[in-house]
Amino acid sequence: MRKATLLDQPDEVKRIDKSNMLGHCMRIPDYCEDAIKRAKLVEIPKEVTISKRFSIKYKKPKNILIVGMGGSAIGGEMLRGWLRDELPVPVEICRDYDLPAYADVDTLAFVISYSGDTEETLSAFVDAIRRKCMTVTITSGGHLLSFSKNLDIPHMVIPDGWPSRASFPYVFFPIAILLKRMRIISAIERDIEEASSVLRRVARENAPEIPTDKNPSKKLALEVEGTIPVVYGFGLYEGVAHRLKTQFNENSKLLGRYDVFPELDHNEVVGWEASESLTKNFSVILLRDYEECAELRHKIELTKSLISNRARKVHEIYATGKGKLARMLSLKCIGDFLTVYLAVLRGVDPTPVRSIEEIKRGMRKRFDLVGRLSREIENILS
């Protein structure tokens, strides 16, 4: 009984959610508006002169790289899903220390690190400069900001002091705004306006003060608790499925996984033939859309019927809104609330990510990456 009512006890929720991750969930619509305003102030030059023999020219790109790790990269993944039918050039997400071989003067590279000190991203940034990629950075500070200023690279400064995953609007909307200003994509204002309205409605419907019996995210958290969540998306929602999986990891402190239709019906689905003593530990969350094409809808339904008796339970979340962006962000917003409420049910503060910090400390003790990169930048400047 306590579990069923815990989410409706404000004092208990605040006691567990010490750093107020739910507050970030509620303010996402405001963050979106602020991110757009900040992005509109960023100037993309025609050329950046770094030294007498070294300059970067900004022109129409032949490919786009979105460079980052964790919460700083997921914005690029979701943007690629949103604009898949409109972007005239390929977009790749780079989560590594260096860029793919093709990256060169025709590559537009958005280098994103919320903290500004993510070692993989700093390394990839220097690689982008070395290759004379058209580089734009987004960060709250750290070495990425100081490197960008030293090299006169166009950059956007975002609010600091948050968990990286709470900064999603600041690593998502600015990319779209800058792509439009560079005339790579066309008008997106209507999509953004609708998405903002839908986000405000979804946030109100899932707010902490809404009781469990009327709150979709609270109800789903109670259903998922005690299982390992598996998230299945498709096409437009591949990035959303990945985001929800990582939110289960970071907010709820749970293992989880994700996959996408139709590919999962050519491999993943066979895994459900395992013993029920194993499969009953998992619950499945299907990200759904009322505009699914007939073939995809039937494939999802067939899969659902196949795994319904194997998993502990199969849940469905339907997107709301008309435009692609609104529908994507409606599911993303529900997922954020869901994973925080699940953390509360588990009695864990959703904000700290101790394992990540421990690995970062261990890497800093072993390697002086920032020192090496600083010397490389000095060489470029000289």
Q: Which pair of structure tokens corresponds to residue 169?
A: 């609007």
Whether 266 is catalytic is: yes
Residue 35: partners with Cβ closer than 8 Å, 6 or more residues away: 158, 169, 170, 172, 173, 174
**Residue 218: closest CA among 4, 2, 18:** 4
> From the candidates 77, 120, 194, 250, which is the catalytic residue?
250
Residue 68: partners with Cβ closer than 8 Å, 6 or more residues away: 75, 76, 93, 94, 95, 111, 112, 113, 118, 121, 171
* Cα torsion 3, 319, 266, 81: sign: negative
CA 368/CA 149 separation, integer angstroms = 21
- What letter would DSSP give residue 266? G
The beta strands (E) that lie in the chain are given as 47-51, 54-57, 63-67, 91-94, 107-113, 134-139, 155-157, 228-234, 257-261, 282-288, 313-318
Whether 360 is catalytic is: yes
HSE-CB of 95 using CA atoms within 13 angstroms: 10
> From the candidates 225, 268, 360, 376, which is the catalytic residue?
360
Specify whether the CB–CB gap between 376 and 44 falls below 8 A: no
> From the candidates 46, 266, 295, 365, which is the catalytic residue?
266
Q: Which residues are catalytic?
A: 250, 266, 360
